[in-house]
Structure 1
């Protein structure tokens, strides 16, 4: 049997290594389309140019193209249905994907089937001087949360407590939303949208009732119309702020709560028409009220969770993406990994800005990985860099390093991380706190 050719948008070395460890990888050949730095290390996305480049690469290939996949959020996720349709490979439709990724359209769909889990929301134009009044007229009062209609990570998301907070957020949104809105609009132009959705383009924002609690992510897929959830990952924040401290797998949520979220996910994903692709859905559980809230849907696996599944289940859940793209039911093992629990930690500083003057040496990082077997440390900064130049950061902090670790139990895992973190040394100048 000849090797099957799988093209990966933005394929980098780390992902390539993981892909080669998947079941069936000996029968696959992975090829890169679009350089990883074009989708990882920038906030400027020329989607028409990237689609043209990818199309030319695929046209020149001259052999069968069996699958086109990717693991990134915007812009990769939104390009995949377009490329797959053009080259006849498996993917969900662009419209079904946008019912998940267009925040306003997604909320409208969610409200149709699980209204009890959806906060109050409205769309608004940040360039409209009357926006705050329109938000109030929609029934939202302080505090509320605002974010772009197509968000990317936690970027440009703000908790609004006062009119002054809103004014500051609007200034940021006006200055920066174009880098998301313009490429997203180039995708919307290729979709068949209902008129009421077409009117809410990429320059719009969402205002939503504040929701919170124990946050988690359900990783799943749809295969021939069947919605399957195969793992739940907790998202733990630093105390008192919106920034993530770590992701934890498996979830420590009560099973009945997880099942309630799974049932809601099946209803929503079925209504969107999403199929033949992986997804994840983020939820909150308000423990005091014993109530769940649906936060958002992402139309891909989480790259941040790949190492967690590998440590606990024995394989990265990239297996799901590849299997689906090749038209077969995913073959993901369960609890066959080396660890009972695993986490991705975010080593952060809470500055407004600063210049990085010193980072841990390669020797230090290698020693830490040796002292804590199974640990992977990925620095996100380099000497001389301004923190404000980092892409995909939240509005309150900067992630200096990502650290993946496994353990026999959660408390042991936390203790090992704290010991490791104490040995990471950074230095900063020109600090704006």
Structure 2
């Protein structure tokens, strides 16, 4: 049998190792397109140049280009439809993807079919000196949340409780929003957009009613028009802050709430016209009001969840993406893994800033991974790292390490993490000047 050539944008060693363990992987050859540091370790995304270089690499390949895939958010997610169209490979359309990733267009589409499950919202220009009053004219009052029309992770997202908060947040937005808005606008220029959306480009922001509760993510895919949610992951935050503590799979939400979230997911993804690609949808369940809120739609699997599915179900959900790009119906197993529950923990500090002077050694990490079987520790800093210079951080803390663990119960999972975290030794010194 001939091998199938699958090109992965931003392929790194971490993902290559996982991909080569998937079912059927002996029949595949995985090739990287665009160096991983260009999408993982930078705030600079020259997307037009990246697309040009990716196309040149693919055309120079001596063999068939059977599939093009990716697991990252912007810019990788938005590059895929453009590359796949040029090479005739499978993915969803650019317009259906943008109905998920352009936060204003996404809310407009959601309001058409599931309006009772989304917050009040309005778009605003952060460079407009009257932006705050215009937000009020749109029916939003303190507190509310603001974020760019297109962002990555929790970057440049702020809770606004008063005018001073808004002033400080807008200052940050004006300084940094161009890093994503300029390349995102290039992508928008390639799409067929309604005028109401074209008028709200990547330089705009969203203001939304505050929503909250039990947060979770529905992982799913669409294959030939059929929406298939295959797992729900809980997102648990540190007390009293917005920063994530850990992701837990499977969800402990009441089954009727999970069923409703699956139904809402089917409705919105069908309405958008998303097809032949993976996705995940983030929700809140407000337990007090017994109300579900849709937070946002992501046009990819979550890399953070790959190890969780592998530990509990037996296969990383990267299997879904690979099957889809090859035109196959995904076949995710259920509960065939080694553990009953799994989590990805975020080891964080809540400093204003600092410089890292010590990190756990390779020997210390290896000993902890042996002490807690199934554990994977991935440091996000090194000696000399300045916390404020770290990429992909939220606005309130810094993640020093990611820790994936499995256990036989929720209680054992958290207990194991706390015992492990007590043995992870980092040291810091104050930033001078």
TM-score > 0.5, shorter chain as reference: yes
Does 2:350 match 1:361?
no
Distance in 1 between the 2:144 and 2:305 partners?
A: 29
Distance in 2 between the 1:431 and 1:42 partners?
A: 22
Matching residue of 1:211: 211
Does 2:408 match 1:408?
yes
Q: Deviations over 1:104-145 (max 9, x none)?
A: 000000000001101000000000001001100010000000
Matching residue of 2:155: 155
Extract unaligned runs of 5+ from structure 2.
none
Q: Deviations over 1:214-268 (max 9, x none)?
A: 0000000000000000000000000000000000000000000001111011110
8 Å contact 1:68–1:80 — kept in the other structure? yes
Q: Secondary structure at the match of 2:68?
A: strand
Distance in 2 between the 1:213 and 1:121 partners?
A: 18
Matching residue of 2:55: 55
1:388 Cα deviation (Å)? 1.1
Equivalent residues in 2 for 1:106-255, closer than 5 Å: 106-255=106-255
Matching residue of 1:97: 97
Matching residue of 1:286: 286
Q: Secondary structure at the match of 2:73?
A: coil
Matching residue of 1:88: 88
TM-score, scaled to structure 2: 0.99
8 Å contact 1:351–1:431 — kept in the other structure? no
Distance in 1 between the 2:402 and 2:159 partners?
A: 25
Count of residue pairs brought into register by the alignment: 432
8 Å contact 1:146–1:206 — kept in the other structure? yes
1:352 Cα deviation (Å)? 1.6
Distance in 1 between the 2:349 and 2:270 partners?
A: 40
Distance in 1 between the 2:361 and 2:326 partners?
A: 42
TM-score, scaled to structure 1: 0.99
Distance in 2 between the 1:352 and 1:162 partners?
A: 21
1:62 Cα deviation (Å)? 2.5
Please identify runs of 4+ aligned residues in structure 1 that moved more than 6 A: none
Extract unaligned runs of 5+ from structure 1.
none
Equivalent residues in 2 for 1:350-429, closer than 5 Å: 350-429=350-429
Q: Secondary structure at the match of 2:423?
A: coil
1:353 Cα deviation (Å)? 1.2
Q: Secondary structure at the match of 2:218?
A: strand
8 Å contact 1:11–1:33 — kept in the other structure? yes
Distance in 2 between the 1:323 and 1:412 partners?
A: 34
Structure 1 stretch 291-300 or stretch 22-31: which is displaced more? 22-31
1:283 Cα deviation (Å)? 0.1
1:43 Cα deviation (Å)? 1.1
Distance in 1 between the 2:38 and 2:115 partners?
A: 38
Matching residue of 1:71: 71
